[in-house]
Every structure is written in C-alpha cells, then in structure tokens.
Chain A
C-alpha cells in the first residue's frame, strides 16, 4: 500500500475522534451548574446585563444552534474570553502553548538520550548487578509521584547547589535549555523508565534472533551489529511507546508546570479551574484533545515509514 493512501486514511480516521472531542468539550460549560454570565459579571451583575451577555454569547438560543455557533467560532479562531485575564483565550493559548510543547519535546529528547545507553548496558549485562540497579532505580521512579521528584530536584539543584532557577524561564533558546532542564527531566523520567525497560527487553530478544547470530558468524564487529542490527530494530517498538507516552508528557505538564511555576497551558488549566474560568478550561481541553490526536497521527505515520510491514 502506498504512503499517500495510508496517510489519507489515517487522517480520515481522526475526524470522528475530533468531532466527539468537540461535542464533549462543548458540553463541559453547559453541564456546569450556574450561569456563566453571572460568574463573568461577578458583583456587577444586574438582570439586564446578564440577559445582554447571554444574548451576546448566544446562550439564549436552542442548544443545537449554540453548538453550531461554537463550531463556527472554533474555525474563526474564537474560543471565548478568559474570565481571569479578560483576554481572548486564543491569545492566551498562543502565548503559553509553545512553552508546554518545548518542555514535552525536551523531556522526550532527554528520555531517549538516557534510555538508549541505559537499556544497552542493562541488556548486555542481563540479570547482573548493574541491570538490577537500573531496574530498581526506575521502579522507584515509577512509584514516586512526579511532583515530588520535581520538588526534590528543586531542593537539591536549585536551592542547595543553585545551578538552576527555582522558577520562571528566560527568553533566549539557551536560557530556555537551562531553565527548563529540571522540569523537562522530571517530566521525562517516567518515559525514560518505561522506554529503558522496553528497549532492554527488545534488545535481549533481538540479540537471540537469527539475523544477529548470523551477523556474528559473518564476523561483523560488535559495534556494527549493535548499531545496525540490534538498536535499529529495537527502536521501532520504542517509537510506539514514545508516541503513546508523548500524550502522557503533555498531560504531565499540568502538574510539573505547577511545581516549577511555569506559565504553560497545563499551569493555565489548573489556574483556570481554581478560578472557575470555564471558557479557558473548555478551550484548553479542546487543545489537549487535538494535540494528543495529532501526536498519535504523527507516530503512526513515522512508524509506517520505519516499518515497511505496517498497513492500515
């Protein structure tokens, strides 16, 4: 099957998911008890003002018309206005989404860069001391909540050693790399643990397989066998995990951004729900939903290029 058909098919598969996400997100605000106009106006609320605002937001119309308006507005890029900062939510997202994406990508890179050598070491020393140590460390990491690991890193590296800032982030790329290192490391540790375990098991399986035995028999160098025959095959299954856990990273940002006081969309979402800022909660849920669907799409497409056996 050629790639164009595959990618088109995969794109079409995404449509029902996105529709359901949109309906659910639309329902969030409608299901919340209380009148959003009253919340928005606060102490300035008068019956006329409330009626006026409801008319402006289309809340006096039947529910299906409201849904139609909601969808049309999404396409126009109008996601409502934040009740806390009183600016259009779309501007808020434009300001804060890049930080979250940067952190998620940074976390994934840190996780992969550490997981590959660690899994190689663990696989080549299967069941020996170093393998047990790596496993024990990662079990501990997976059994400890991310926000606590984040706070420990803050205490050690920011407060005691003063290598990193306690919060906030600089403007330039290099400043970002430094300031976001601890949060991204915290975010990536869970992925690193899962990836290392998976790659280790994959490598052990591949080392036993016939084509590797044959490569040894041909007298190829250990290094070449590892890189060309073992690691490349192991990476294919690693990529699927990476795809699944990218959504984990994006979601984990909700907590890690709060720990490190970073103004990404995760932190914004927590602030929005604490401040009953429902238009923001609604818009961010939509953004997260679409983001995750996109990540799955990209993973599947990349995977289809890496593994020629994949079809829809």
Chain B
C-alpha cells in the first residue's frame, strides 16, 4: 500500500513546487517577476512606442539644434534638432526586432540541425563539427564583418550575417544534449516500441532537451541587440537616419564634449533592455533547472 502511495505523493510535491503561488514565486525568484514586468513593458513600447512620441523622430529642425534636456525636449535634441526622446521610443521597435529576428531563426534552424546531427551522426555531424571549429577560429565580429564584406553593408545583410553565425551555437547545444539523451531509457523504450525516428525526435527528445537552448536564447536576445547596435555604431548595420540606438550613439560621439546626452540616453536604453532580458533569463534558468541555484 505504502509503495503504491509513494509516487502519488511525489507527484503532488512536484506539482506544488512548480505551481507556486505568485507571492511565493516572488520570494523565491524575484528576478523572473521583475523580468516579466520589464520585458512586457519593453514589448509594449516596441509596439506602441512609435505612435506615442511627441515629435517626428526623423524630421529635422535646425532651430532647436543640440538642445540640452528640458521640459520641452526631455532627453534633449541632436545636431539636426531631432528629439532624442522620440528617437529612443521609436528605436525600441528596431532594436527589439533585431533581438527577436536574430534569435528566432537561428533557434529553429540550429535546433533542427543539432537534433539531426546528434541523433544520426555520420557525415552531417562531421560537417557540423567542422563548421563549429571554423566559427570559433574567428572572433565573432571579424566573422560577421567578413560576411558583410561579401554581402555589402545594410540592415538586411546584417540580419543575414547574424543569422548565419548565430545558429551554430544552438546546433552545438542541442547536439550535445541529444548525444547524452539518445541512450537514455525513455528513448530506447520509444525505439523498442517501434516509433518512427521523427516521432522520437520531436515528441520524446525535443521536449526533454530544449531547456538549455531556451535559456541560451534569453541571453542571446541581449547579445543580438548589443551586436546589432554595435554594427549600427560601426556604420555596418542599420543606417542613419533610422533611430537605431547604436547609430544614435555613433552620431553623438562627435559631440561628446558639448552634448554628452546624445550618446548617454540611447546607451541607457540598451542597458535597460539588456538588464530586463537578463533578469528574465536568470529567473527562467533557475526555474527550469532548480538544482542549479
């Protein structure tokens, strides 16, 4: 009797700890709550920000050049008299889009390749490992810049370059997980039952090994936003006059002595987005891997 009751009890315990009440979650994992609130706010700004701005983010007005922050222009104006606040608000959409596009495509593609490569091995696996070797032989920005040298600079090519480099990490993570998991009992059992490889991969393996990729994706969003703005800063990604934060910081660099706010506010915006996503990522990772805390 007691033997039969035991698994039932365990189930209850895990269910309870997984569906903690909100207050208990807040106590144990405040990062995830704060992260969710901030990221929701950022997504809200990315959707509605461009329509909430007081001024046109691109229209030039030479009468109000390089104004310091005031009640009229709360973050000041740049060398063309454009309102920094309006530009930053519009920039939420651009920078978040970089973060999302450059994570979603590598995420899907990398997981697909990693699953197949780890499960079947053979030629594709060898090829993948060589690609991994090469990609770590170059510093990240050198690789991206070399790809941009071939494709030409600009937003679209920046996306292509970041995606071309980005998927490798996901493939590597998932491949490693598959190599461990494919000899576990639940996979062997599924095989013994005669399930197709596709069904084993998608229904059995994937749900069990996807957490590390999701945790990585959270920090990857931040990295992609930073990479996108860095390329904008270098003049290789998003091009002026688009109000991308990296481009704005680059614009402000020449006025760093007279008008430091030109660079400071867009930088703070990037930092805000970065910190919000890393809180969400940290919270998520301690939720998905409770033993790791």
Q: At the interface, is chain B mostly helix, strand, loop or mixed?
A: helix
Binds A, one of B39-47, B100-108, B112-120, B142-150: B142-150
**A139 touching B278 in the complex, CB below 8 Å, given contacts A144-B267, A273-B145, A281-B149:** yes
**A152 touching B267 in the complex, CB below 8 Å, given contacts A28-B149, A147-B230, A255-B233:** yes
Interface size class of A (residues with CB under 8 A): 35 or more
Binds A, one of B129-137, B166-174, B180-188: B129-137
Whether, in the assembled complex, B96 has its beta carbon less than 8 Å from a beta carbon of chain A, the answer is no
Number of A-B contacts (CB under 8 A): 131
A243-258: CB near B (< 8 Å → 1, else 0) gives 0000110111011001
Alpha-carbon distance between A152 and B267 when the two chains are bound, in angstroms? 9
Contact (Cβ within 8 A) A151 B270: no
Alpha-carbon distance between A128 and B122 when the two chains are bound, in angstroms? 50
Whether, in the assembled complex, B68 has its beta carbon less than 8 Å from a beta carbon of chain A, the answer is no
Whether, in the assembled complex, B57 has its beta carbon less than 8 Å from a beta carbon of chain A, the answer is no
Alpha-carbon distance between A166 and B254 when the two chains are bound, in angstroms? 11
Question: In the assembled complex, which residues on chain B have CB atoms less than 8 Å from the CB atom of A159?
Answer: 256-257, 260
Among candidates A32, A148, A247, residue contacting B139 with C-beta atoms closer than 8 Å: A247
**A21 touching B149 in the complex, CB below 8 Å, given contacts A145-B246, A152-B267:** no
Contact (Cβ within 8 A) B138 A285: yes
Whether, in the assembled complex, B249 has its beta carbon less than 8 Å from a beta carbon of chain A, the answer is yes
Among residues of B, the one whose C-beta sits closest to the C-beta of A277 is B149
Alpha-carbon distance between A148 and B138 when the two chains are bound, in angstroms? 23
User: A residues near B, CB below 8 A?
Assistant: 17, 20-21, 24-25, 28, 31-32, 139-140, 142-148, 151-152, 154-155, 159, 166, 247-248, 250-252, 254-255, 258-259, 266, 269-270, 273-274, 278, 281, 284-285, 288-289, 292-293
Given contacts A142-B274, A247-B136, A254-B145, 8 further A-B contacts (CB under 8 A): A152-B264, A159-B256, A251-B140, A255-B234, A274-B153, A278-B149, A285-B146, A292-B137
Q: Can you sample 20 A-B contacts with CB below 8 Å?
A: A20-B137, A142-B274, A143-B222, A143-B275, A145-B230, A146-B230, A148-B270, A155-B264, A251-B140, A251-B141, A252-B141, A254-B145, A255-B141, A269-B145, A270-B235, A278-B149, A281-B146, A281-B149, A285-B146, A293-B137
